[in-house]
Structure 1
Amino acid sequence: MTSSHAPVSPTPFEDLLPSTERALLHRIAVAQTEGRAPSLVAAVVRDGRMVWSGSLSCVDGHGPDADVQYRIGSITKTFTAVLVLRLRDEGLLDLRDPLEKYLPGTAVGGATIAQLLSHTAGLTAEAPAPWWERTPGDLRPELGDVLGDQAQLHPAGLLHHYSNPGYAVLGALVEAVRGVPWKDALRTEILEPLGMHRTSTEPVHPHAGGWAVHPWADVLLPEPSEDLGLMAPAGQLWSTAADLSRFAVFLTAGDERVLSADSVAEMRTPAVAPEPGDWDAGYGLGMQLTRTDGRELVGHTGSLPGFVATLWVGVADGVAAVVLANATSGPLVGALAADLVRIVAESEPRFPEPWRPLPAADGELLALTGPWYWGTHAFGLRLTADGGVALAPVRGVGRAARFKAAADGTWIGLEGYYRGETLRAVRRADGSVSHLDLGSFVFTREPYGPEAAAVPGGVDPEGWRGI
């Protein structure tokens, strides 16, 4: 059993307290024992760096450190999604386009790229037999071998149906548009810029071996490790707790060398409604979304014969956790990673950013702050530190949102009901502000005040009255 943390930081609150480290180590010890994992390694990231790692092993007599490779299964899908979003951001494709536009001749050409990313294209969950995770990829040399005779089970866009072949298709899309093999694009566009030098498509020593643990006896069976061929973009990668910690930092804040913060936030945004009966889970663009103990987590789980893995990021808490184990089943790594985030977030709550006044005040913008009325509903408009504005109900809950400033003097909604919608100040002939227009809804300084022309349908000329 081992436990370690990153080098001492110059600031006093970045390292974990000894009591927190012990709680983390105890939690993974319980998980390794109850899950009967041959070995298990975990890491915690806080505010941009790995602050703790721990491991246990009963196979080789010592715990693996954070630089030992494990297979990460479907966490690979998030990397593939990043490659697709990079193509979008470069203007080489549009997520609304049908696959056929870039990869003609498949049986699923009518599905859009966004639907493939969010598992709403209606494709089958698995490739045709033989079981693709346990057989060599050269058994499926063509994309048609991955999709099979009945590639689409559901109408595209109707519902969320997780599809491994869908990500094989996205890998082929990357190759077709970029003009290089998927693994080469992955290395040069993501792994090298992020310093993930211990992440690879094939195992590189030191790495864990994959094991099956007998469900009714404490005995082991080695699992095969295959090159998945065309299915690689769905689950091929090997990585380490340290490398996935670097990836967690990227999934929190983006990195201009790879993908902007806005595009990464788009990946974390729910793209589809949750499954019926499960209102605490969803899927974005290559990222799983879950709510556990009231805490929102994003990332991905993964499994292949002999391995299970999870990467969860609690963006609001600034905490992420990675868990890797070399067992086909047993250790509940998804719940474990969520618990590691919770332990740190609750034991050592995040310090808020100190309040600071704005460096300068824009008089015209400042004049827009304060109360505005949508009909009789009172809203407050305030400035934000990043140069945008925020609009929220004065009482109770409602359609609150932050808006970023656009070059033309308007603001674009960043979240919720008003995501992507335009807020503008409508001015009179003399330049003064008459009202705010938000997606055609009118906000006035007084509830149905004298600016009758600003309110569609007009205002009764007799005004407010008693009974």
Structure 2
Amino acid sequence: MTESNAELLPATRRALDHRLALAQSEGRVPSAVAAVAREGRVVWSGGRGELPAGARPEEVQYRIGSLTKTMTAVLVMRLRDEGRVDLADPLGAHLDVPHGGEATLFQLLSHTGGLAAEARGPWWERTPGELRPELPDIFGEQPQKHHPGRRYHYSNPGYALLGALVERLRGEPWFTVLRREVLEPLGMRRTTALPAAPHAEGWAVHPYADVRQREPLVDTGRMAPAGQLWSTAADLALFAAFLADADDAAGTGARSGAHEAILGAATRAEMRRPAAPPEAGAWDSSYGLGVQLARRPDGRVLAGHGGSMPGFVANLWTSGADRLAAVALANATSGLGGVPAAELLELVAAHEPAPPEPWRPMPADDADPALLALAGAWYWGTVPYLLRVHAGRMLTLTPAAGAGVRASRFLPCAAGGWRGLDGYFAGEALRAVTAGEGRVTHLDLGTYVFTREPYDPAAPLPGGADPEGWR
């Protein structure tokens, strides 16, 4: 049983249908649903196996486990953007907690707070939450496993603490806040704390026999912000569009007003940047602020999150470069090969690559002659760089020979000048320095001096230019 949108080519739809069928069969899951969205719109959805009669596959609820964490992180980032908290604040500055108070909000969001991976026994994902109504009861005998900030160590209790922080500062239950601030504005009407029909049943499939048994359905109580939610492929496609919208935070792409009202594009981009140190060497997987990151074999970097609860597995991945997102959900405790959302996304990207955004001239208000005069070649010593001017008064500075390690984008500052958005100069200040008559003599970038000519004698170079000149 599949349903596809005609915007994709028939060959692409067939390939997606086949991949989902293969995943459900080889993964030995009672049912699986998936969807692919392009630029925020579902362009394909499919279902395989035992689905509620008459239900559209993308509207069937599944439990999404740790995908809940990304939504909890959005609530914390909203508090930060409102000035209610700073990510450098220790949790204990805002919430009286028995453990984890020394960890900063940044560390808890990025799983670097050093807290235990799991709540105390019994197995919290199969234990009704009323056994742990208070925060002290979620911790075991050794709640702190590592010194805060030293290393990445995934922590479910850490997100229970972040959910409690939201409740403390908003004065309302965590899910009430989530529904009002995120779910309703995004139109996610089928994302709930408890299942609502039509929904899939949770199953455990025997590893060596084609039999199964039901998994318990529990309300996880205080642990809910770490993994409680139920959702659908259609709702998660809306959330994926929110995460990936305006991927570069510079305003160069189309941007939804509803998305901006929830969380600014710059903050969403901040969430999608690696925040946790890799275990060793170059990373192929990392973690941002409530967002998992994966570097695929083809070099594509995906952002999203996976999830599992007894009876369910889920995965959501987005690729801003491709303007694509994919969701896959199944109702088995294990199976489906990790849920092939990333493979579905890459299949569409390979069959129907997204065309580049059309070039458009910048708005007339941005075409300031003084700003345009900065465009062109500049030199750091003898190395040529190219400075380009874009809409929104954004600048890019790249080595003339190619992107290079010191390529960066710069956003304008209210106080004047620009600040690095990414790359080597991220966070560094860029200013155009003028002489008395208003002529720009050089660019100052974090003490780097860029001149119009290699070692321009008219510019105030540190150490000065050799009076004998070039010879």
Change (3 A) 1:294 1:193: same
1:373 CA drift (Å): 1.1
Q: Deviations over 1:369-399 (max 9, x none)?
A: 1111112221100111332111000114221
Query: Where does residue 300 of structure 1 map in the other structure?
Result: 305
2:203 matched to 1:211?
A: yes
Match of 1:381 among 383, 387, 397: 387
Distance 2:139 2:458 in 1: 61
Contact 1:77 / 1:233 at 8 angstroms: preserved in 2?
yes
- Give the superposition deviation at 1:295: 1.3
- Structure 1: segments with no counterpart, 5+ residues: 9-14
SS at match of 2:261: coil
Cα shift readout 1:342-362 (whole Å, capped 9, x = no counterpart): 111111111122222334332
Where do residues 228-247 of structure 1 align in structure 2 (5 Å cutoff)? Answer: 228-247=220-239
- Supply the distance in 1 between the matched residues of 2:139 and 2:440 (Cα, whole angstroms): 58
Deviation at 1:256, TM superposition (A): 2.0
Indicate whether 1:406 and 2:388 are aligned. Answer: no
Which residue in the other structure is 1:275 paired with?
279
Q: Give the whole-Å Cα distance in 1 for the aligned partners of 2:194 and 2:349.
A: 35
- The equivalent position to 1:171 in structure 2, one of 163, 185, 194, is 163
What corresponds to 2:17 in structure 1?
A: 25
**Would you say how many aligned residue pairs link Structure 1 and Structure 2?**
455
Q: Indicate the percent of aligned positions where both proteins have the same amino acid.
A: 61
Alpha-carbon distance between aligned partners in 2 of 1:309 and 1:317, rounded to the nearest angstrom: 21
Question: What is the CA distance between 1:248 and its match in structure 2?
Answer: 0.7
Letter in structure 2 aligned against 1:405 = P
Question: How far does residue 131 in structure 1 lie from its aligned partner after superposition?
Answer: 0.7
> Cα deviation per residue 1:26-54 (whole Å; 9 max; x = unaligned)?
11011111101100000000012111100
Return the match for 1:428 from 427, 432, 435: 435
Cα deviation per residue 1:76-116 (whole Å; 9 max; x = unaligned)?
Answer: 00000000000001110000111111012432211100000
Change (3 A) 1:329 1:64: farther
Paired amino acid for 1:264:
R
Query: What residue identity is the alignment partner of 1:332?
Result: G
Aligned counterparts of 2:270 and 2:92: Cα–Cα separation in 1: 24
Distance 1:125 1:277 in 2: 23
Within 1, Cα distance between the matches of 2:44 and 2:99?
47
TM-superposed CA distance for 1:149, in Å, is: 3.3
2:426 paired residue among 391, 407, 419: 419
Q: Give 1:22-171 correspondences, 5 Å limit.
A: 22-58=14-50, 65-171=57-163
- How many angstroms apart in 1 are the aligned matches of 2:235 and 2:362? 37
> Is contact 1:275-1:281 (8 Å) kept?
no
Whether contact under 8 Å (2:159, 2:225) holds in the other structure is yes
Task: Quote the offset at 1:225 in angstroms.
Answer: 1.1
Q: Which amino acid aligns with 1:348?
A: E
Give the CA deviation at 1:447: 1.7
Q: Give the 5 Å matches for 1:319-338.
A: 319-334=324-339, 336-338=340-342
Could you say which residue in structure 1 is the equivalent of 2:374?
A: 368
- 1:333 Cα deviation (Å)? 3.8
Shift of 1:63: 7.7
Amino acid of the structure 2 residue aligned with 1:115: Q
3-state SS of the aligned residue for 2:262? coil
Maintained 8 Å contact 1:44/1:245: yes
- Aligned equivalents of 1:339, 1:298: Cα separation in 2: 14
Contact 1:44 1:53 in 2 (8 A): yes
Contact 1:43 1:245 (C-alpha < 8 Å) held by counterparts: yes
With over 3 angstroms needed to count, the CA separation of the structure-2 counterparts of 1:202 and 1:238, relative to structure 1, is same
Contact 1:100 1:106 survives alignment (8 Å): no
1:458 and 1:131 map into 2 onto residues whose CA distance is: 69
What is the rounded CA distance, in whole Å, between the counterparts of 1:363 and 1:23 in structure 2?
A: 52
Q: What is the CA distance between 1:308 and its match in structure 2?
A: 0.1
1:313 pairs with one of 318, 325, 344 = 318
In 1, Cα distance between equivalents of 2:276 and 2:463: 36
Measured against aligned partners, the alpha-carbon deviations of 1:425-459 in whole angstroms (never above 9, x if no partner) come to 0111111101101112111112212035x222333
* Residue ranges of structure 2 left out of the alignment (5+ in a row): 246-255
- TM-score in terms of structure 1 length: 0.94
Residue 64 (structure 1) shift: 5.7
Indicate the residue corresponding to 2:249 in structure 1. Answer: none
Q: 1:3 and 2:3 equivalent? A: yes
User: Distance in 2 between the 1:463 and 1:112 partners?
Assistant: 54
In 2, the alpha carbon distance for the partners of 1:287 and 1:400 equals 25
**CA separation in 1, counterparts of 2:443 and 2:303?**
35
Offset from partner CA, 1:183-235 (integer Å, 9 cap, x none): 11011001111110000000011110000110001111110111000000000
Pick from 343, 355, 362: which aligns with 2:359? 355
TM-score normalised per structure 2: 0.94
Contact 1:410/1:424 (<8 A) preserved: yes
Which whole-Å CA distance do the structure 1 matches of 2:51 and 2:15 have between them? 24
Report the Cα distance in structure 2 between the residues aligned to 1:257 and 1:338, rounded to whole angstroms. 28
Aligned partner of 2:153: which letter? Answer: H
